[in-house]
Amino acid sequence: MLSDLPIRKIIHVDMDAFYASVAQLDNPELKGKAIAVGGGGKRGVISAASYEARKFGVKSAMSGKLAIKLCPHLIFVKTDFERYSKISQQIRSIFLDYTDLVEPLSLDEAYLDVTQNKKGLYSASLIAEEIRARIYKEVGLTASAGISINKFIAKVASDYNKPNGQKTVNPEDVLPFLEELDIRKFYGVGKVTAEKMYQKGIFTGKDLKIKSIDYLSENFGKSGRYYYNVVRGIHTSEVKPNRIRKSLAAERTFSENLSSEIFMLEKLEHIAEEVSKRLQKSDVSGKTITLKIKYSDFTLQTRSKTLPYFVKEASIILETAKDLLYQNKLNNSVRLLGISLSNLNTNTKVPKQDLVDNKSISVQLKFQF
C-alpha cells in the first residue's frame, strides 16, 4: 500500500538541452538556431541537439549524416566536456545550498531530497522554483524539474513541462497520474519494451496496473516486479549523495576504419592518456582494464584483464590494452576503440552528515508540495 510507505519530498532537476544550451550561452550568435553538439564529419555521432534542431527530428545518438538531411541548416559545434563539467559544478553548488542529499545522475541532472532542507522551507515546489531561478540568474541556463514523493515519479514529472518548466505530483495525485501516463513515459521502459507492451495491450499505466505480478514476471523477467511496483507509486530507493563510481572510460570513433593493429597503437596511446587523466582527476585507481572494439559492421567485442594491483598510470594502462589488442585476431576493420577501468578502489563510506533517517518520515505528516 502506498499509504504504508515513507513519504519524501524529492526533486529531479534536469537541465534543458544542456550541451547545446552551453554552446549557445558561450556563443550568443547561436541562440535561436538549430545546432548539434558533435556529429561533424563523415562518421560523427551527435551528442546533443538544441530544441530548434529537435523540431526537425535531430536527436542525440543520431549520425551527423542523417541529421543534416533532416535539417539542412544545422550547425555543428564541438563538444567541450571541461566546460560542461565546470558549469555542472556551479549548478551542484546551488543544490548544496538547499540539501546535502544530492544524487547526480550525470553532468546535467540530479535528484535532491528536500524533505529536511537547509532553508527550513516546507514547499518542495517553491524550492524547485527557487533553484531554477538561481540557475538562470547565476549560470544563464534554464532547467526543468519534477517534484513528488519518490525518485521515479519526480523523474517522470521533470519531463512533463520541458523546457524551462516544472510539474508537481502531490501524494494524493500519484495513482491517478500514473494510471493516465503513456507507458512510453515510464522511466525504465525502453523502446523495445514499449513495443512489446503495446503488443500485449498495455498502453497506459492503467493497462499495466491490471496485470498481475506473475504475468509481468513471466513476460518481462526481473523487470516485471519493478513495473508492478512503480505503477502503484512504490519506489523506495533513497537519494544517495555518494554514488559509487563503478568504472571510468574513454573511447574514440575513427573517421576511417582501421584494418591493422599497428594503426591502432597511436590511437590507444591517446585513449590511455585520457583515461589516466580522468582517473587522476577523480583520485581513483582500478584493477580491471577492458578494451572495447567496435567493428565496421557495428558488432562489439570486449577483452579484459585484471591486474593484481590498482593502477592509474597511462603507461601501464596502454601496455595492458596492447596485450588485449594482440590477444586475438581482429574480426573485421575497426571503427571504434575504447579503454575502461573497473574494479575501482572507490571509498564506500558515507559521511555522517549525509545520513538522514528517511524511514522515520510517514504519510501521517502534513506535507506541502
For 68-98, how does the pLDDT look when each residue is reduced to its tens digit (9 = 90+)?
A: 999 999 999 998 888 998 999 999 999 999 9
Write the pLDDT tens digit of every residue in 252-305: 888 888 988 888 998 999 999 999 988 888 788 999 999 999 998 889 999 999
Say what percent of the chain tops pLDDT 90.
65
- Which CATH number fits the domain 247-344, given the four candidates 3.10.310.10, 3.30.1490.100, 3.40.190.10, 3.40.50.700? 3.30.1490.100
Judge whether residue 246 has pLDDT over 90: no
Q: For residue 309, count CB atoms less than 10 angstroms from its CB and return exposed for 0-12, middle for 13-18, buried for 19 or more.
A: exposed
> For the chain, where do the domains classified as CATH 1.10.150.20 start and end?
173-240
Please give the pLDDT value at position 42.
67
Contact by Cβ (8 Å): 52, 66:
no
Mean pLDDT, the chain, whole residue set: 88
Say what the pLDDT of residue 79 is. Answer: 87
Q: 149: which DSSP letter?
A: S
pLDDT tens per residue across span 339-363: 999 999 874 433 333 333 333 333 3
Predicted local distance difference test score (pLDDT) of residue 29: 96
The domain defined by 19-79 carries CATH number 1.10.10.10: no
Single out the catalytic residue among 29, 109, 138, 313: 109
Residue range(s) of every CATH 3.30.1490.100 domain in the chain:
247-344
pLDDT in tens, 103-151: 998 889 999 999 999 998 889 999 999 999 999 999 999 999 999 999 9
| CATH number among 3.30.230.10, 3.30.70.100, 3.30.70.2860, 1.10.150.20, domain 173-240 | 1.10.150.20
Residue 109 bears catalytic tag: yes
Which band of pLDDT confidence, cut at 50, 70 and 90, is reported for residue 206?
Answer: very high
Range(s) within the chain of domains with CATH label 3.40.1170.60:
19-79
What does the pLDDT look like over 38-75, one tens digit per residue? 887 766 788 899 999 999 999 988 888 899 999 999 99
Query: How far apart (Å, rounded) are the C-alpha atoms in residues 66 and 72?
Result: 10
Model confidence, pTM: 0.71
Sequence-ordered alpha helix ranges (H) in the chain: 18-26, 51-54, 64-70, 81-95, 124-138, 151-158, 174-180, 191-199, 205-209, 213-220, 223-230, 261-282, 314-325
Grid coordinates 512510453 are at which residue? 184
Q: Cell digits for 331?
A: 574480426
